[in-house]
């Protein structure tokens, strides 16, 4: 039977924190609450991808040793929280505050909110997700669509459809396009597979 010397670190090494932060999702901040590993004078730390707060496996590589340890991490990200009840289609301007909250698997960081409106009724205290916001005119609104392919530009009427963060429309042919609004015209490219 082999005994391993398990080291519980009193202070977390800086290179470990850097390795963990590098493997965390963009827009998040990692706090290391604990780290345990077999004794190894590590020169390098290789963390597994971080999918939220909890335990993360970390490989320690040093002179004459290579072993695995566990880091217990708390992951924080900026979340958008609704501050008052918002009806569907209402602007989110002044109805949202940003807070740093614990990030768990499947929780998205705060969506971009410039020009956003509520895609559904939102209650005060709700954590805002991408599906809760939409941009541009409401679904069903007729709009002029300019489809640009290389140097060719074609304009025709379309109808706004719901598609989350993007502004989308369907054309009379049934094709769906995504684009940006410019002076009341949806400037778009044809989506693949449509």
Please tell me the least confidently modeled range out of 33-37, 46-50, 128-132: 128-132
| Domain of residue 15, residue span | 6-75
Together in a domain, 129 and 146: no
CB 157 within 8 A of CB 183: no
**Separation CA 163–CA 131 (nearest Å):** 9
User: Which residues, other chains included, contact 190 with Cβ-Cβ below 8 Å and sequence gap of 6+?
Assistant: 147, 149, 175, 177
Q: What is the pLDDT of residue 182?
A: 84
Domain assignment of residue 149, yes or no: yes
Please state the domain count of the chain.
3
Length of the chain as a residue count: 194
Of 75, 95, 116, the domain-final residue:
75
CATH number of the domain residue 175 falls in: 2.30.30.760
CATH number of the domain residue 88 falls in: 3.90.1210
Is the per-residue pLDDT at 57 higher than 90? yes
Q: What is the pLDDT of residue 189?
A: 66
Helix (H, G, I), strand (E, B) or coil at 103: coil
Is the per-residue pLDDT at 52 higher than 50? yes
Among all chains, which residue has been given the structure tokens 């778009």? 188
Helix (H, G, I), strand (E, B) or coil at 176: strand
Domain assignment of residue 1, yes or no: no
pLDDT in tens, 95-127: 999 888 888 766 656 666 777 888 889 999 988
Sign of CA dihedral 126, 130, 131, 137: positive
Q: What is the pLDDT of residue 1?
A: 40
User: Which residues, other chains included, contact 80 with Cβ-Cβ below 8 Å and sequence gap of 6+?
Assistant: 96, 97, 98, 110, 111, 113, 127, 128
Q: Provide mean pLDDT across the span 73-82.
A: 89
Sign of CA dihedral 134, 135, 141, 142: negative
Instruction: Please name the helix (run of DSSP H) or strand (run of DSSP E) that holds residue 17, with its range, or none.
Output: helix 14-22
Percent of the chain whose predicted confidence (pLDDT) is above 70: 86
């Amino acid at each position: 039977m082999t005994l391993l010397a398990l080291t519980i670190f009193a202070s977390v090494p800086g290179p470990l924190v850097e390795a963990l932060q590098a493997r965390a999702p963009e827009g998040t901040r990692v706090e290391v609450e604990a780290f345990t590993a077999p004794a190894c004078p590590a020169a390098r730390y290789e963390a597994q991808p971080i999918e939220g707060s909890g335990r993360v496996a970390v490989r320690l590589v040093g002179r004459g040793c290579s072993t695995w340890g566990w880091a217990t991490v708390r992951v924080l990200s900026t979340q958008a929280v609704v501050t008052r009840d918002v009806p569907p289609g209402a602007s989110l301007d002044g109805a949202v505050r940003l807070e740093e909250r614990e990030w768990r698997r499947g929780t998205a960081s705060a969506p971009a909110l410039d020009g956003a409106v509520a895609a559904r009724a939102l209650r005060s205290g709700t954590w805002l997700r991408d599906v809760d916001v939409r941009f541009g005119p409401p679904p069903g609104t007729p709009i002029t669509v300019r489809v640009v392919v290389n140097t060719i530009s074609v304009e025709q009427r379309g109808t706004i459809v719901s598609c989350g963060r993007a502004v989308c429309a369907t054309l009379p042919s049934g094709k769906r396009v995504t684009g940006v609004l410019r002076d009341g015209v949806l400037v778009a490219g044809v989506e693949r597979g449509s």
